[in-house]
């Protein structure tokens, strides 16, 4: 006979425990455990498993369908893989539904059948947004949070693409829990997975993010799907970045850049021009240009720094788009090896355009920007700075320097400061090799 097992799940992070706990050992939340009943089904008879040698396993070639949106296809690795399950996360109002309506319209334009299911909006609301975006009228729309009704309609229509907006709004009537709870999200995601694989339907699930910036629901949700995408951006900017953090059929950490307009999300095919002032043709004190590598794409970004006298006690160290600890370390290196006393000054550093950078190859650009702000001298026009800075002030080699320099050359930059002794780098632009940050002083006096 089938039996039921009871476990307790943290609503905040999805941690499971065989007994109730007042404090979650995983995320530290208090009073977050809820009871979850797992239905145990008696195992059915099946053929005995058999092993195969690696060379005996037939190779399956995944069929891809291009979305028609170049920036999205770049992140996906060339398009949607038929029958795959994709999770798209992002803050409320960032543009997830807008992007997916555009995707649905492009798919209908090439003859694919698309079912768009919303558990949060009425059909009239979806129609209003679709009219504003001027999308295809051949999209099948459904406003229904009940997963059983969604499954029934999907099997009847037999679409090649299924969009669920959102997984937190869908519920299973057989589960005694509220929509959006850990148990509901898990069971609904499991059923969508089976629906996608058994019927070869490319399925996109929209997921809301928590205040920590992760997709709400159990962590197993990201493990169940084939692709995890995040749509990022600051509401104060018109630009949105879609980033792949998991992809079973392609590379990760690729990004696509979009601009939010009154007609929806528009592709930005040359994003480097968004993040540098006047294309690098002018220079101001505190401004420096560097190059960051996002996946396989080099992007030129502008770093801006402002240094003012601290009037409220402890000096502030504020970095927007930068790792705070990395910024504090670079400030210590600047004070030690460039001789600038910043202990009585507030230091503000910003990556222009709302981009978030994490790689160390931008260290030299950050140091040059802060040093320029400290001295009040602008850096040379048409010059960028690439290199990792060590604790001793030395400038260390970086990955894919040649590709970064090629991007800068394409955009009209004439000179680049690079790590001394890095091999295999040639360019038509002037390459200035630096071994230590004290060599920056030649441009700051």
Element (H, E) at 326: helix 324-337
Nearest to 115 by CA among 82, 148, 153, 85: 153
Please list the alpha-helical segments (H only) found in 147-254.
147-157, 182-199, 220-224
Element (H, E) at 433: strand 430-434
Taking CB atoms within 8 Å and a gap of at least 24, the contacts of 230-238 are 230/88, 230/89, 230/90, 231/88, 231/89, 231/90, 231/94, 231/95, 231/96, 231/99, 232/90, 232/94, 232/356, 233/94, 233/95, 233/260, 233/354, 234/354, 235/93, 235/94, 236/354, 237/353, 237/354
Burial of 111 (0-12, 13-18, 19+ CB in 10 A): exposed
Binding site as annotated, residues for ATP: 90-97
d(CA 184, CA 170): 8
SS3 360: helix
Handedness of CA 197, 203, 208, 209 (dihedral sign): positive
Binding site as annotated, residues: 90-97
User: Cα dist. 178→57, 115, 168, 331 in Å?
Assistant: 44, 25, 10, 49
Report DSSP state, residue 161.
Answer: E
């Amino acid at each position: 006979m089938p039996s039921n097992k009871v476990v307790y799940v943290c609503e905040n992070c999805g941690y499971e425990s065989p007994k109730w706990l007042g404090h979650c050992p995983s995320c530290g939340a208090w009073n977050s455990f809820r009871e979850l009943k797992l239905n145990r089904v008696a195992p059915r008879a099946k053929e005995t498993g058999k092993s195969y040698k690696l060379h005996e396993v037939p190779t399956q070639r995944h069929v891809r369908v291009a979305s028609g949106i170049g920036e999205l296809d770049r992140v996906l690795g060339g398009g949607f893989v038929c029958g795959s399950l994709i999770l798209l996360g992002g803050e409320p109002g960032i543009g997830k539904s807008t992007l997916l309506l555009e995707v649905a319209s492009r798919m209908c334009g090439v003859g694919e059948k698309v079912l768009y299911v919303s558990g949060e909006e009425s059909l009239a609301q979806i129609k209003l947004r679709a009219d504003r975006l001027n999308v295809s009228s051949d999209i099948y729309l459904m406003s229904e949070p009940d997963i059983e009704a969604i499954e029934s309609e999907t099997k009847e229509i037999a679409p090649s693409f299924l969009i669920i907006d959102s997984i937190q709004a869908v519920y299973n009537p057989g589960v005694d829990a509220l929509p959006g709870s850990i148990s509901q999200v898990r069971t609904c995601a499991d059923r969508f997975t089976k629906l996608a694989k058994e019927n070869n339907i490319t399925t996109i699930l929209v997921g809301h993010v928590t205040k920590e910036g992760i997709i709400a629901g159990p962590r197993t949700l990201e493990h169940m799907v084939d692709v995890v995408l995040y749509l990022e951006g600051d509401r104060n900017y018109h630009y949105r970045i879609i980033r792949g953090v998991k992809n079973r059929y392609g590379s990760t950490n690729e990004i696509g850049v979009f601009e939010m307009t009154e007609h929806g999300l528009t592709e930005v095919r040359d994003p480097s021009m968004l993040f540098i002032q006047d294309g690098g043709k002018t220079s101001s004190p505190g401004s420096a240009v560097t190059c960051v590598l996002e996946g396989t794409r080099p992007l030129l970004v502008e770093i801006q720094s402002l240094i003012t006298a601290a009037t409220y006690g402890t000096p502030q160290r504020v970095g927007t788009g930068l790792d705070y600890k990395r910024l504090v370390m670079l400030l210590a290196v600047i004070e030690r090896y460039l001789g600038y006393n910043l202990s009585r000054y507030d230091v503000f550093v910003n990556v222009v355009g709302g981009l978030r950078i994490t790689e160390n190859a931008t260290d030299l650009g950050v140091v040059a920007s802060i040093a320029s702000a400290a001295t009040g001298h602008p850096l040379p026009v048409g010059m960028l700075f690439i290199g990792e800075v060590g604790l001793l002030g030395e400038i260390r080699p970086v990955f894919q320097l040649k590709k970064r320099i090629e991007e800068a050359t394409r955009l009209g930059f004439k000179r680049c400061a690079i790590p001394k002794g890095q091999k295999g780098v040639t360019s038509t632009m002037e390459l200035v090799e630096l071994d230590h940050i004290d060599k920056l002083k030649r441009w700051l006096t």
